[in-house]
Amino acid sequence: MAVLTVRNLPDEVHRALRVRAAQHGRSTEAEVRAVLEEAVKPRGRLKLGSLLADIGRKMKLTDAEVALLNRRDPAPPRPMDFE
């Protein structure tokens, strides 16, 4: 794991980090890791299922159309033939 050193941290910031860490029941170092992790985490990340459901709602698919999309061919898959 990487190590990060932060120099010249203002006293009031360090104090606020210690208070915040105590409120969350963790060490100041663990709190800093949590703050940094939250700061760089992608926002608004959609999962594929949510995205597909949203597309379906926008297209106003009927129940019959959704049922057709959900039907699966019972035959086993065949290898691709490129010739």
In 3D, which of 35, 9, 5 has the Cα closest to residue 21? 35
* Contact call for residues 24 and 31 (beta carbons, < 8 A): yes
Spatial separation of the C-alpha atoms in residues 52 and 55, rounded to whole Å = 5
What pLDDT digit, counting tens, does each position of 10-26 carry? Answer: 999 999 999 999 999 99
Q: Would you say the pTM of this structure is higher than 0.75?
A: no
**Count of CB atoms situated within 10 Å of the CB of 71:** 7
**What are the tens digits of pLDDT across the range 50-63?**
888 888 889 888 88
pLDDT for 33 equals 95
Burial degree of 55 (CB within 10 A; 0-12, 13-18, 19+): exposed
Please report, for the chain, the start and end positions of each structural domain, with discontinuous segments joined by +. 11-40
